[in-house]
Amino acid sequence: MIAGQAGNSRQAVLTVVGPTAVGKTAVAIALARSLGGEIVSADSRQIYRGMDIGTAKPTTDERGLVRHHLIDIVDPSEAYDAARFAADAEEIIVDIIARGATPLIVGGTGFYVSSLFRGLFEGPGRDPEIRATLTERAASEGVGVLHRELERIDPASAGRIHVNDSSRVIRALEVYATTGRPLSEWQEEPVSAAVFSARYVGLTLPRKKLYERIDRRVDAMMTAGLLAEVEGLVSRGVLSSDMPAASAVGYRELLPIVERGEGDVDDAVALIKRNSRRYAKRQMTWFRSIEDVEWFDLDGRTPDDVAAAILALPAEQDRPAR
């Protein structure tokens, strides 16, 4: 059964990772019910109130089965960064353990997971989704446009970065988009050690089946009213294209239609599917780079089957050194 301490004496926390749409929620709920556990979400989009359909939040019924944390905690207009996540998650984990329950970290946002288990903070984590968007913009609009944006939000960094240094310009804008704070402020932050370590399990599917599942989920989101959700957020003034939350796949493609009447819904849906597939690929690259992840293929297996296999893993202290 999953248990134990990490080799460096920090308490190990079971952590379920994997790409978007792979089925993390169902497996995590099965695990949490077996362990008497509570789920701590490590998803940088599910933190936002009102952004429900496009972020594939656990349903009300699912949250009734197992207690979830760090979902619906800020408005889309508010900044929330990886450092704040790590601090919040650490506090919640301590409380869960103190109450005799088992914490379970679940999510696909690699830089959130990294911030929790690798310490705070030699530099804000990287967000492959936002980085890809900025890289595409630099190619289509020119790096000078991005540098002018940087001058507005972080003049100190813009003054140090040459207008043609696309890599550093993109990095500085990525930091602001993911954290809500300028890079120049982050560079003044001290580094602190992580309290917990991770016992990673990863969920995967064959690529073709994962991409088919992503496409079906996007269609289901549109049927469930994703466009109306975006319209409502915009009309209430809590979401616009210049906010960090607007970089989320499913929202950034529909915002031009809602805000400016630009584009076609069918084209936007095709973009959501494409961008979701690309995001899943980047997530897998991120998580494959982590050492000692126990991977489980969900193809042809139920969430209960996979949860049982995970629970049958040897305790951390019983695993051979590698």
Q: Could you report the per-residue pLDDT of 118-148, keeping only the tens digit for each?
A: 865 555 667 878 888 898 998 889 889 999 9
- Name the residue among 94, 176, 102, 98 with its Cα closest to residue 134: 176
Q: Could you report the per-residue pLDDT of 251-292, keeping only the tens digit for each?
A: 999 999 999 999 999 999 999 999 999 999 989 988 998 888
* pLDDT surpassing 70 at residue 202: yes
Opening angle at CA 252, ends 248 and 257, nearest 5:
155
- Name the residue among 118, 125, 122 with its Cα closest to residue 195: 118
Whether residue 146 sits in one domain with residue 110? no
Instruction: Give the confidence band of 2 by pLDDT, cuts at 50, 70, 90.
Output: very low
Mean pLDDT over the full length of the chain: 89
* pLDDT surpassing 80 at residue 309: yes
Please say whether the beta carbons of 247 and 133 come within 8 A.
yes
Look at residues 138, 158, 186 and tell me which one is the last residue of a structural domain.
186
Q: Could you report the per-residue pLDDT of 92-118, keeping only the tens digit for each?
A: 999 999 999 999 999 999 888 988 998
Spatial neighbors of 224 by CB under 8 A, at least 6 apart, are 53
Whether residue 167 sits in one domain with residue 260? no
Peptide bond into 287 cis (omega under 30): no
pLDDT of 129? 81
Lowest mean pLDDT among 153-162, 221-230, 304-313: 153-162
Asked whether residue 5 is domain-assigned, the answer is: no
Whether residue 204 sits in one domain with residue 87? yes
Whether residue 25 sits in one domain with residue 133? no
Whether residue 306 sits in one domain with residue 162? no
* pLDDT surpassing 50 at residue 321: no
Whether residue 39 sits in one domain with residue 141? no
Q: What are phi and psi of 162, to 5 degrees?
A: -65, 145
pLDDT of 50? 96
The total number of structural domains in the chain stands at 2
Q: Could you report the per-residue pLDDT of 209-226, keeping only the tens digit for each?
A: 999 999 999 999 999 999
Task: Give me the domain span that covers residue 153.
Answer: 128-186
Whether residue 133 sits in one domain with residue 82? no
Look at residues 147, 168, 186 and tell me which one is the last residue of a structural domain.
186
Mean pLDDT of 181-208: 85
Whether residue 284 sits in one domain with residue 177? no
- Name the residue among 85, 90, 121 with its Cα closest to residue 11: 90
pLDDT of 78? 84
CATH number at residue 112: 3.40.50.300
Residue type, 255: L
Cα separations (Å) of 37 from 28, 96, 101, 263? Answer: 10, 8, 5, 45
Q: Which two tokens stand for residue 312?
A: 């049958």
Whether residue 56 sits in one domain with residue 96? yes
Asked whether residue 280 is domain-assigned, the answer is: yes
CATH number at residue 156: 1.10.20.140
Whether residue 201 sits in one domain with residue 284? yes
Whether residue 78 sits in one domain with residue 207? yes
Asked whether residue 6 is domain-assigned, the answer is: no
Look at residues 140, 169, 186 and tell me which one is the last residue of a structural domain.
186
